[in-house]
Amino acid sequence: MRKIHFISFVMLLLSCSGAYCAEGIKGRASLGGTLVESVDINIYALRAGGFGPFTGDAPAARTKTAIDGRYSVDLPEGRYVVEAIKKGPKNKGEKPEAGDIYCVYSGSPVTVAKNRWTTVGLYLTPVSAEKRGPSEATRIKGRLTFKGEPLEKAYLYGYKSVAGYFHGPADFLQPVARGDFTVSVPAGTYYLVARKRVKGGAYGPIELGDRLNFYAGNPVVIREGEEVNLEIAMAERLSSLEEDESAGKGQKIKLLDPTGKPLASYYVLAYPNPDRNGPPAATSALTDQNGEVFFNLPPNARYLRGRATLGGPLYENEVYVDGEAPQDSPSTGPIILKVQKKK
C-alpha cells in the first residue's frame, strides 16, 4: 500500500485547525449508475511533473465511501488528483489489477477553492487484464467499451508526459470508429485517455453525457518489437453524481461583447501567466445564453481568456475576451469580461 507522506498529513491537519475545515472534496462513487460502498478514495496533491498514482506519488489524504457511496475529505485550497479503487480478493499490491473496479477522476486535477467544497463524482469501471507479446511492429492494440460493448465514434489520446495534465494536443490522437484500435508507436512510455463527446469533436471540456476514462494501467511502457493489448472501459458522466447544491459551484464569470450583449457558447481558459501562452491550467464549460459560467479557478491561474474555440494560438481577427480574477480572494459578484479583437 502507498504510505501517506507525514509532512503532507501534518500540513493538512494544520490547515484545517479548529472544529471544521471550510473547503474540500466530496461526492459519490458509482459503478454503472449504482452507488458503491467501501471504495478506497485516495487524494493526491498536484505537483510539477506529477499526476498522482500515474507518477507513483503518495496520497495526501485517504477515506472510504459510506454505505450510500458518499465520501468527503477536508482539504486546504489547491489542486488534486482523485483516485477510487475497490480491490478484488486477489489484489494485494498497490496498482489496479483485473478483478478490481477503479477510476482516476477524468476531471483531475480538481481545484479546491477557499471556503468552497468541490463535488467530484467518481465513475468506477472494471479493470481488465493487459496482454503483451512480441510483434513485427511496436504497437498498442485494444478496444474501447461501454457497458461491455464496443464503443463507436470515440477518440484515443496518447501522451508522453503528464506535464500538460492531459489538456491540449496529444502526442497521438486515434479516432476509434467501432471500438477496436491499433496504433503503431515508437518504444517509450505513454499515458492513455479515451473520450467520446456527445457534441462530437476531439477537443473541449468534458460535459454531462460524455463518455470517458483514463486507462487504469497508466503509464503504458512499451519496448521495441512489442505489442500491448488492452481494454479501456468507459463511463458516462452523470448529473446525479456531479450536482450538489451544498457544494460550491465556483466563481461566476460573465462575458460581454462591446455593446454589453452576453456572449454565449464561449469557453473560459485560466492561465498562470499574463501572456496566456501554452496550455491553460483549466478550461470551463461553455457560457450559457446569459454569457455566464461557473468556474473553479485554479490557485495561481488568475489570467483569464474567453474564446469560442479551443486549441492553438489566437487566429487573425479572432474575437476573444481577456481579464483577471482577484488575486487574494474570490469575487463576491461575477467577474465581468468585455470582448476584444485580435489585430
DSSP state of 49: T
Confidence of residue 325 (pLDDT cuts 50, 70, 90): confident
Interval 44-77: pLDDT, tens: 999 999 999 999 999 999 999 999 999 999 999 9
Please tell me the predicted confidence (pLDDT) of residue 40. 97
Decide if domain 251-341 falls under CATH 3.40.30.10: no
Cα end-to-end span (Å), the chain: 55
User: Cell numbers of 52, please?
Assistant: 498522482
Q: Give the confidence band of 202 by pLDDT, cuts at 50, 70, 90.
A: confident
Domain covering 6-126, topology: Immunoglobulin-like (2.60.40)
Please tell me the pTM assigned to this model: 0.75
CB 60 within 8 A of CB 5: yes
CA separation for the pair 225, 222 (Å, rounded) = 9
CB 310 within 8 A of CB 267: yes
Which of residues 109 and 315 earns the better pLDDT score? 109
Tell me the pLDDT of the chain averaged across its residues: 86
Across the chain, which distance is largest between two alpha carbons, in Å?
64
**Looking at residue 27, what is its pLDDT?**
93
Q: Do 6-126 and 131-235 show the same overall fold?
A: yes
Distance of CA 249 to the CA centre of its chain: 16
Cβ burial 298-308 (10 Å sphere, 16+ → b, else e):
beebbbbbbbb
**pLDDT surpassing 60 at residue 339:** yes
- Show me where the domains of the chain are located: 6-126, 131-235, 251-341
Confidence of residue 19 (pLDDT cuts 50, 70, 90): very low
Tell me how many degrees the CA angle 49-119-30 measures, rounded to the nearest 5: 95
pLDDT surpassing 60 at residue 331: no
Give pLDDT tens digits for 64-120: 999 999 999 999 999 999 999 999 999 998 899 999 999 999 889 998 888 888 889
Q: Domain 131-235 belongs to what architecture?
A: Sandwich (2.60)
Element (H, E) at 41: strand 40-45
Q: Which of 234, 218, 138, 146 is nearest to 183 (CA)?
A: 138
Query: In the prediction, which pLDDT does 251 show?
Result: 82
